[in-house]
Amino acid sequence: MVYLIGIIISAFLSFLLLTKKNKSIADKILFIWLFVTTLHLTIFAFKATERHFQIPHLLGIEILLPLVHGPFLFLYITAFSVRPLKISYSLLHFIPFVLAVLLALPFLLLDIDAKILVYQNDGRPFQIHRNIIFIATLLSGTTYCLLSLYRLYRHKKKVKDIFSYTEKIDLQWLFYLTVGLSGIWMVSFFAADKYTFISVVLYVLFIGYYGIKQVGIFTNQQAVVQEPAIPEPSIGIKVLDETPPENVKYENSSLSEKQIQQIHTNLHQLMQREKPHCTPGLTLPDLAKQLNVHPNTLSQVINSVEQKNFFDYINTLRVEEFKTRAVKTENQKYTMLSLAYECGFNSKTSFNRNFRNITGQSPTEYLKHV
């Protein structure tokens, strides 16, 4: 029964994506991935119930398919965190799978009776081929899980350079997805096949639950970092798709120290006068537009003078704004959360987390001592 449930869930999610209008690149990648997963689960179910000889034409495919799950995960994450995703670049990640198919071709081209005989003889005379593919699968799984984690780390860093909030755009659920796939690799290598299948079914359920909840998968919105199209600045740095290391990030900047200080002075006056940090959805381009400077220029000023990224800079101001408002007599009738919303925070969790990170105390602990 568990095999049938897993296949039905995977197929149903594939159908949802297939029938969705205006599919994004991430949607298309997930559809193909879930379709392949459905095929993999189906073959696995036949093999686990010792009925795989009923599908002799598919014998051997189950050994090759694990090589595609790592690339699919990485490309799915990349579709959310990097724009645009190049198709030619994407196909290169499936070269190990193609090489494995070529290696397995002598077996795949056998007639049905010969294939069945190989399975009955525990893979002989193709054990070396099988072992090579096994090692390649292990290396692929490890490599792509690490690459996916690194991609998410870079994305999270990029988000904090542009946005004053991280809810729904930090792709934290994809971090759990990556950890989950890593867990499946571990189970598949050290546990019985049925536990691997159960792990995959739970993994598909996870994709379904978080995928439907998240913006950008089963909806028409996008949860990617969408930077506005901005012309190349006359003063500043080149717009980068990837966030470079801090020590080289602004090495080509033509800003002088005097210009940096002047922009910072203007920034400080704007924050004091108009308090744009109290706008919940404030982004770096929004603030740069108010100062009439390029976003990369403003980012450089904040990083070099404040020694903070945009996210930390804005949320520090929000915390200070809350501390100022909370002690005023006329605000005692309001709850902490309502004051937090007025200061630009968009959720209780975001408020509490940022307040503790900045002050080392919870809001309640802080107010007890003022």
Return the percentage of the chain with pLDDT > 90, whole number.
50
Residue type, 214: Q
CATH of domain 257-368: 1.10.10.60
Q: Tell me the pLDDT tens digit for each residue of 149-161.
A: 999 999 989 899 9
**Is 69's pLDDT higher than 60?**
yes
257-368 matches 2-213 in CATH topology: no
On average, the pLDDT of the chain sits at 84
Q: In this predicted structure, what is the pLDDT of residue 214?
A: 53
* pLDDT-based confidence at residue 211 (cuts at 50, 70, 90): low
pTM above 0.95? no
Q: In this predicted structure, what is the pLDDT of residue 72?
A: 95
* pLDDT-based confidence at residue 339 (cuts at 50, 70, 90): very high
Instruction: Select the more confidently predicted residue: 333 or 209.
Output: 333
Residue 23 gets the label, from left (phi > 0), alpha (psi -120 to 50) or beta, of: beta
Q: Tell me the pLDDT tens digit for each residue of 163-192.
A: 999 887 878 888 988 999 898 888 877 777
Domain spans, the chain: 2-213, 257-368
Under 8 Å between Cβ of 65 and 188: no
* pLDDT-based confidence at residue 240 (cuts at 50, 70, 90): very low
CATH of domain 2-213: 1.20.1070
Q: In this predicted structure, what is the pLDDT of residue 1?
A: 66
Q: Tell me the pLDDT tens digit for each residue of 13-27.
A: 888 888 888 888 888
Report angle CA 281, 277, 159 to the nearest 5 degrees.
Answer: 50
Residues in the chain: 370
Q: In this predicted structure, what is the pLDDT of residue 83?
A: 64
